[in-house]
Structure 1
């Protein structure tokens, strides 16, 4: 793997290099948020290990800008001492793919990175996902409906990608949460909030709704033949 480590603690950096380099992985290091953003937006990495508490720009803002401003889809694993539920929710809402709390096992970190990489590669099997007049380009991160760009949040993008992969099949709430947040779904009613925001971008500007909610069952996309 080609990894970017955004971390200012020299002991943690040394441990990561000592573990991953002998396994044949290539590591780059950025010691503050601004340097991390520059490296992540300019170079291709398999995954990014990101600390939250950084000099200058913190990890949340870095991840948010990486997703929203630069449209970088590289998997991000947040590595931090912050362990409250709200901290984790904030990380996922900023665009993180996984969250590991210090102290941690290096073997678990390695396993999580490999899982993120497998998931990312599966997402790129089909470069452009299409259903009816809806398209999502996984390379650029741009979604359009009837040729018009959709303004999506990072989580809205993940939800739409999951629904597109399975369209027009129904995805249960549990299955959709697993697709979006992996093994660490939020305990709150975050999905409903994100579905509402996605519906505002996907359906409100158009005359025909595509995002269907089946109460107690799940969510799916519907085409013009069902409208």
Structure 2
């Protein structure tokens, strides 16, 4: 499992690393809510372990933003000292999938994480999208160009899926913004930044192949396959 730990207590973080890494799991961690959201935007994880009480942006708000703004469906297990029914309900309503009260058993934590990942895998729709040299397995979140694995951000995967589903049709900026932010994009031109990052991965990393991501100025973007006649 690829596990993201969002926890500000260094002793707890060290304890989780000591337990999970020898079992073959890959871990990353952030000490703040904002740091955790940044990690999630950059990488894809199988499951997230989230502390309920974080400095600044607390666990509930991190979870809400994860679901509502990032549209991220990665399973979240919330670790917290808050043990009332009201606290648990708040965590689940914020978007957490499971709730474990401190102190907890590491064996139980591992079992719960496996169960969350298993359920997420069972509910994933394993559709494979293809166009030209590009393909994307939406169930496994694996993208490739000419057989070479592509490492994208969560937003990058969403954009690639939208472009592949439409290819070779043009996808407007409005369509992409709806896909990423459900029609409520940030004030800054974040879409341009995400398109730039996607182009770096699927085109710039293949300098000997013709580019596939085409910008139609002022309108949107589309994929092209230069190996066939246009």
Relative to the length of structure 2, the TM-score reads 0.55
Structure showing greater radius of gyration is 2
SS in 2 for 1:4: strand
Q: CA RMSD in A?
A: 2.5
CA shift for structure 1 position 55: 1.0
Contact 1:41 1:66 in 2 (8 A): no
Matched, 1:59 2:59: yes
Cα distance between partner residues in 2 of 1:108 and 1:115: 11
The equivalences for 1:45-84 within 5 A come to: 45-84=45-84
Identify unmatched segments of 5+ residues in structure 2: 129-137, 140-156, 159-177, 183-230
Matched, 1:44 2:38: no
SS in 1 for 2:54: coil
Identify unmatched segments of 5+ residues in structure 1: 129-136, 141-148, 153-227
CA shift for structure 1 position 111: 0.2
Q: Which residue of 2 aligns with 1:85?
A: 85
Relative to the length of structure 1, the TM-score reads 0.56
Q: Which residue of 2 aligns with 1:98?
A: 98
CA shift for structure 1 position 42: 2.3
User: How many residues are aligned here?
Assistant: 137
Q: Which residue of 2 aligns with 1:117?
A: 117
Matched, 1:31 2:20: no
Cα distance between partner residues in 2 of 1:125 and 1:29: 28
**Residues 62-105 of structure 1: per-residue CA shift (max 9 Å, x gap):** 01001000100100000010000010000000000000000100
